[in-house]
Amino acid sequence: ISVVQRLWRGHVSADMLSPRLQRAMKDYVSANKHQVSYRGRRRPSQSAKELLCEMKAQARLQMVDGTQQPFSSLGWASLVPSLPLEQLHKHPDQGSFKSCAVVTSAGAILRSGLGREIDAHDAVLRFNAAPTEGYERDVGNKTTIRIINSQILANPNHRFNTSSLYKDVVLVAWDPAPYTLDLHKWYASPDYNLFGPYMEHRRAHPDQPFYILHPRYVWRLWDVIQGNTQENIQPNPPSSGFIGILLMMTLCEQVHVYEYIPSMRQSDLCHYHERYYDAACTLGAYHPLLYEKSLIQRINTGPGSDLRRKGRVTLPGFSTVDC
Ligand code: C5P
């Protein structure tokens, strides 16, 4: 049976990947670019409920807020938005959002016709430079939050300052820091320099909510993936997709994720908006995607038919989970 069918069942292993992807994975493990040393436990056979509760405990949202060095000396306490993300959309008597959609950028969402269904959610999360214009039938056109990696800020090709993709939405940026959480080291040499563009953008658009995820949040999510996986996963941060799913589980009562675990439309087309083919985009080389996806399938409460037909996973928001 295929890798995707195994993902639908939630049983995965690096053996299922092509030799090329297995080799890429091994190279990342030996490079260990971010100096990961995992000392936590491994309990790969936790129940779905236990896993969900571990995620809820580990995924307490944390942003760079200017309380820690070097950011405090740089005046970031007054640079970052004064309202935390969790409070932006808070209604007096509810949580934040009732229903949320996380729309991955996978090529398999093409010809899905899911646009209307996606737009019917209270909030929609999208990633990086994924457009809606021209793809409305399949991906919808509503965007509430956009998660962007540091390349979007640093690489002029993305026209971060002028593109409409990054206007009128909540922005959440991230960049891989050392696993040791040395913020001085991170500030001095981020993967891609996001700090300058972030400061500039905050000053130019103080009313647009724009946050940088704290590296502790990102690596805690990685710890959850490794702690619930038998094999050694890639020592690199989780994908934006995984980060976005857990972020929305803290903000929403129910989360639908589209084309993260591939539907029967699965293909090697990397993104729906680009003619570039590589199975690594779906199964992972740098990011521990295969393992992330297996974890999400383990907490999926939706039927198998949703997965196959829509590539849709249904997850409970953390506020609805009693631990
Ligand atoms: O490529 P990019 O990171 O911008 O895509 C956003 C997210 O969508 C990824 O981090 C990944 O979680 C998910 N994705 C996927 N399969 C693909 C492309 C993207 O699962 N083929």
Q: What is the DSSP string of 168-187?
A: SSEEEEE-PPPTT--HHHHH
Residue 190 φ then ψ, to 5°: -70, 165
Tell which atom from ligand 1 comes closest to the C-alpha of 293. Answer: 20
186 lines ligand 1 (CB under 6 A): no
What distance in angstroms lies between residue 243's CA and the mean position of ligand 1's atoms?
A: 11
CB 276 within 8 A of CB 283: no
281 lines ligand 1 (CB under 6 A): yes
pLDDT of residue 44: 86
Tell which atom from ligand 1 comes closest to the C-alpha of 127. Answer: 6
Task: Please tell me the distance from the alpha carbon of residue 195 to that of residue 245, in angstroms, as a whole number.
Answer: 24
Q: Whose CA is nearest to atom 4 of ligand 1?
A: 128
In tens, the pLDDT along 90-110 reads: 765 566 899 999 999 999 999
Complete DSSP assignment for 201-261: HHHH-TTS-EEEB-HHHHHHHHHHHHHT-SSPPPSSPPPHHHHHHHHHHHHEEEEEEESSS
Tell which atom from ligand 1 comes closest to the C-alpha of 128. Answer: 4
Continuous H helices in 59-162: 85-88, 115-119, 136-139, 150-154
Ligand 1 pocket test, candidate residues 239, 278, 294, most atoms within 8 A of CB: 239
What distance in angstroms lies between residue 270's CA and the mean position of ligand 1's atoms?
A: 8
CB 42 within 8 A of CB 230: yes
Q: Which of 25, 18, 23 is nearest to 236 (CA)?
A: 25
Q: Whose CA is nearest to atom 16 of ligand 1?
A: 282
Tell me the pairing of strands 145-149 and 123-127.
parallel
241 lines ligand 1 (CB under 6 A): yes
CB 221 within 8 A of CB 243: yes
**Type and span of the H or E element at 57:** helix 48-58
243 lines ligand 1 (CB under 6 A): no
The pTM for the full model equals: 0.98
For residues 25-50, average pLDDT: 95
Tokens of 309: 């037909």
Ligand 1 pocket test, candidate residues 127, 266, 290, most atoms within 8 A of CB: 127
236 lines ligand 1 (CB under 6 A): no
In tens, the pLDDT along 223-274 reads: 999 999 999 999 999 999 999 999 999 999 999 999 999 999 999 999 999 9
Tell which atom from ligand 1 comes closest to the C-alpha of 292. Answer: 12
Tell which atom from ligand 1 comes closest to the C-alpha of 129. Answer: 4
What distance in angstroms lies between residue 92's CA and the mean position of ligand 1's atoms?
A: 34
Task: Please tell me the distance from the alpha carbon of residue 127 to that of residue 44, in angstroms, as a whole number.
Answer: 29
> Cis link prior to 70 (omega < 30° from 0)?
yes
Strand-pairing partners, residue 174, are: 149
Tokens of 78: 């007054």
CB 80 within 8 A of CB 95: no
Ligand 1 pocket test, candidate residues 240, 246, 247, 270, most atoms within 8 A of CB: 240
127 lines ligand 1 (CB under 6 A): yes
Task: Please tell me the distance from the alpha carbon of residue 287 to that of residue 63, in angstroms, as a whole number.
Answer: 21
Q: How far is CA 222 from CA 37, 59, 284, in A?
A: 12, 10, 14
pLDDT of residue 183: 98
pLDDT of residue 292: 98
Continuous H helices in 103-144: 115-119, 136-139
pLDDT of residue 10: 86
What distance in angstroms lies between residue 216's CA and the mean position of ligand 1's atoms?
A: 22
Tell which atom from ligand 1 comes closest to the C-alpha of 242. Answer: 12
Q: How far is CA 159 from CA 35, 55, 151, 313, in A?
A: 32, 35, 11, 32
Neighbour tally for 98: CB within 10 Å: 14
Name which of 2-6, 64-68, 162-166 the model is least confident about. 2-6
Amino acid sitting at position 135: Y
Q: Whose CA is nearest to atom 20 of ligand 1?
A: 260
Q: What is the DSSP letter of 89?
A: T
As for the ipTM of the complex, it is: 0.99
**Type and span of the H or E element at 127:** strand 123-127
In tens, the pLDDT along 155-214 reads: 999 999 999 999 999 999 999 999 999 999 999 999 999 999 999 999 999 999 999 999
Average per-residue pLDDT for the chain: 96
